[in-house]
Amino acid sequence: MMLAVDVGNTNIVIGVYKEKELITHWRVSTQRHRTSDEYGILALQLFRYDGLDPADISAVVICSVVPPLTPSVEEMSRRFFKTEPLVVGPGVKTGIDIRYENPREVGADRIVNAVAAYEKYRGAVIVVDFGTATTFDAISAEGEYLGGAIAPGIGISSEALFQRAAKLPKIELMRPKYAIGRNTIASMQAGIVFGYAGQVDELVRRIKKEMGGNPFVVATGGLASLVAPETKTIQEVDPWLTLEGLRIIYEKNLSYY
């Protein structure tokens, strides 16, 4: 079995694959000061909860956008799973031609998403990843990573509104019933969710125009299921796209790893 670990700024998403099948997955909060031992014990507890044996893990692949945490997760793999991990980064075979001006600037998660999306749709595709930041990534019909856009995530936007406006409360992010809110909470939810959906649609529209043709649009990330239904441009939500990309990249590197 293979352990896939996607380390994000807000959450760490963990998946266990048996060959090509994702048999279980977990989402835990990112704690930058946790040690490799703390993450290892947490992982063992999750395995025990789902009735899995850590000894069955023969491969670990990691994608991280939190550099201070990467060594801890790598050491967790070595100590608790007895496996040298494959960490997605420069030198790792992805099969994607990166057209960014400086390829090293592209977040590993964005490349992993591009790999999974191109493998799945086999054509031009736009990936919208709703994480701490919301990223928009354009992949050509030839499998080239063209670049994209980065916007503040919906969670960040909501938190900033609460912190900077003294009379506005901290709210739960959920779908509003109406665009015309009848109280402060409903008004904030309408502005944040519907407003964010409009932002997504406009960015996707512009990216499509620059790409030409009619690329498929897929969304992923923890808040995709909240925003995507309110958009006109997102065609599918795949919450485990990044984990799937990690699995594919591991398979591409088997002969090198």
CB 134 within 8 Å of CB 109: no
Out of 95-99, 144-148, 251-255, which region has the weakest mean confidence (pLDDT)? 251-255
- The mean predicted confidence, pLDDT, of the chain is 93
Comparison of pLDDT for 217 and 155, the residue scoring more: 217
Using a pLDDT cut of 70, give the percent of the chain over it: 98
Query: How far is the C-alpha of 159 from the C-alpha of 163, rounded, in Å?
Result: 6
Looking at residue 25, the DSSP 8-state letter turns out to be E
Average pLDDT on 73-95 reads 94
Q: Reduced to 3 states, what is the DSSP secondary structure of residue 2? A: strand
Give the CATH fold of the 2-87 domain. Answer: Nucleotidyltransferase; domain 5 (3.30.420)
Token pair belonging to 153: 């995530």
Q: Which of 6, 53, 97, 109 is catalytic?
A: 109
Query: How far is the C-alpha of 5 from the C-alpha of 246, rounded, in Å?
Result: 8
Looking at residue 232, the DSSP 8-state letter turns out to be S
* pLDDT of 256 above 70: no
Q: What is the pLDDT of residue 257?
A: 56
Q: What is the pLDDT of residue 175?
A: 87
Token pair belonging to 198: 């409009």
Is residue 116 exposed (0-12), middle (13-18) or buried (19+ Cβ within 10 Å)?
A: buried
* pLDDT of 166 above 70: no
Query: How far is the C-alpha of 146 from the C-alpha of 232, rounded, in Å?
Result: 23
Same fold, 2-87 and 97-241: yes
pLDDT in tens, 174-224: 888 999 999 988 898 899 999 999 999 999 999 999 999 999 999 999 899
Average pLDDT on 37-50 reads 95
Q: Where are the domains of the chain?
A: 2-87, 97-241
pLDDT in tens, 88-126: 998 899 999 999 999 889 999 999 999 999 999 999 999
* pLDDT of 170 above 60: yes
Q: What is the CATH number of domain 97-241?
A: 3.30.420.40
User: CA-based angle 62:68:74, to the nearest 5?
Assistant: 35
Out of 59-68, 108-117, 154-163, 206-215, which region has the weakest mean confidence (pLDDT)? 154-163
Q: Reduced to 3 states, what is the DSSP secondary structure of residue 95? A: coil
Known active-site residue 109:
yes
Query: How far is the C-alpha of 253 from the C-alpha of 40, rounded, in Å?
Result: 25
Query: How far is the C-alpha of 19 from the C-alpha of 29, rounded, in Å?
Result: 27
Q: What is the pLDDT of residue 157?
A: 82
Using a pLDDT cut of 90, give the percent of the chain over it: 80
Q: How far is CA 192 from the centre of its chain?
A: 21
The reported pTM is 0.90
